[in-house]
Amino acid sequence: MRRSLSLALASAALAVTALPASASASASATTTTGPAPASAPTSAPDTLHWGPCPEGAAAPRLQCATLDVPLDHRDPDGRRIEVAVSRLASEKPSKRRGVLLTNPGGPGASGLTYPALLAVSGLPQEVLDSYDVIGFDPRGVGRSTPVTCDLTQEQQWRGNFPPYAHTAADVAREAGYARKIAGQCGNARTAWMLPHTTTADTARDMDRLRAALGEPKLSYLGGSYGSYLGAVYTTLFPHRSDRIVLDSNLGPGGYDVTAMRSFARGMEDRFPDFAAFAAGHPEYGLGTTPRQVTATFHELARRLDAEPVQGVDGTAFRAYTFEKLYADGLLPELAGFWQALRTSAELPLPELPAGAENLMASRFAVVCGDSRWPGTVREYQRNTAVDRLRYPMLGGSTASINPCAFWPEERTGPPVRITGRGPSNVLMLQNERDPGTPLAGARELRRAFGGRAVLVTADQGGHGVYPYGANTCANDAATTFLTTGERPARDLACPAEAAAGSN
């Protein structure tokens, strides 16, 4: 059972910067990489040959193709890799205005079926009419040329987040495991891809895809980690960007050490929503006031740290709680889980998801390759000591050491610095109480974009605004921008709205 619940660590760390599929059922570095030149790629764009999607990725009306791209964009005629692409074509040619490239987040998450998921999750018909909606598996992921770290089943169950560190000795102990995983990735059969599996490389693949689609510009809808991917694309290719919508935003440094530590802040931002829900449902026995529910969290965490229940320790409990804060529709499931822990009822036994090894390996490749991480155990010990006090629910885990501290040194270039250079064509969407990408990071990205962006905040919790959330003010702003090009004149704060069917 310990393995099964430790999967919550993998789910939280892998999906923490991906929009949750369940949402549809429920309601920077100082170095600079300048924008790429506006010239076309040196070699002629490939032609996409659309056909049926592979087994496991098929969906109504969804077509798939494969695009060859350079492994190293500095050597366009060198070694090639594959990027798997999908298309949900507009059925109204008279209304079609271009392509809308999409990404659900990650890194490590497949985006091949995302256009179909958006269509069934409420993406308005006028948007579906206006665009061919394009999905893809980023390089290293899924049906694109994949990366591996040769992770064992035990390592996959353990997940990406470090165990909760209560002491400096806990951090030092975890360093050995982190070094081992970094070594496995650096010695795996796909290690040749690691220097080229970064957000900037994927953004350059996106521009190759734009050319292969025969489009002078592309519009974009990206959520969570996909917000950073879109920010990097429109920074590198500002004049090939049409209408850019970034949802649930990472800060301008992307998924760096600051973002990893910010998950603890996100949990503290979001947890009061769950505390209010549980207090309003006394049948769960978790407390009749939000303060009592919060005390129950700390009581359970302490008890499970000392003595796991059915193999569930404090680390797994914290991570599972964090994961279920992603959508309001998951709060009853979370309350039931807590109730089972308190009453020693039988707990569910989840399965390791298909493709977990590639999910974890590709996430490591991007997160560790995008930016430089602290390289000494002492710095992680300091960070953990600070965050345990500041954000006690999760800070002892997210500030601790991970494989990025020991990642191979080779890099193809510095991180991309997000700036305000380029057209004013970015619309940012953000929930005020987002556990995975807290509001503070979105505000930092907004400042980095300057006059290029407008930020729309929604007074609601959870991860993902459009089209999953219930806030019509924020949703309408996105739909209007995608279909007409009109944005709010200035940053907009959308008030709370009651979700349909809410109690």
Candidates 242, 273, 362, 463; catalytic one: 463
- State how far the Cα of 443 lies from the Cα of 433, in Å rounded to an integer: 13
CA angle 199, 227, 85 (to 5 degrees): 65
Distance CA 410, CA 402 (A): 18
168: left (phi over 0), alpha (psi -120 to 50) or beta: alpha
224 labelled catalytic: yes
How much helix, strand and coil, in percent to the nearest 5, is found in the chain? 45, 15, 40
* Choice among 201, 205, 247, 434 that is catalytic: 434
Angle between helices 168-187 and 356-370 (to 10 degrees): 100
Contact 429, 192 (CB under 8 A): no
Query: HEC profile for 181-237?
Result: HHHHHHHCCCHHHHHHCCHHHHHHHHHHHHHHCCCCCEEEEEECHHHHHHHHHHHHC
Q: Is 198 left (phi over 0), alpha (psi -120 to 50) or beta?
A: beta
Active site residue 400: no
Catalytic residue from among 224, 227, 248, 262: 224
| CA end-to-end distance (rounded Å), the chain | 34
User: Which residues is 85 bridged to in the sheet?
Assistant: 65, 136
For residues 141 and 424, give the distance between their C-alpha atoms in angstroms, rounded to a whole number. 31
**Is residue 134 within a helix (H) or strand (E), and if so which, with residue range?**
strand 131-136
Bridge-based pairing of strands 131-136 and 80-88 is: antiparallel
* Annotation says 73 is catalytic: no
Residues 203-224 as b or e (16 or more Cβ within 10 Å = b): bbbbbbbbbbbebeebbbbbbb
Residues with a known catalytic role: 224, 434, 463
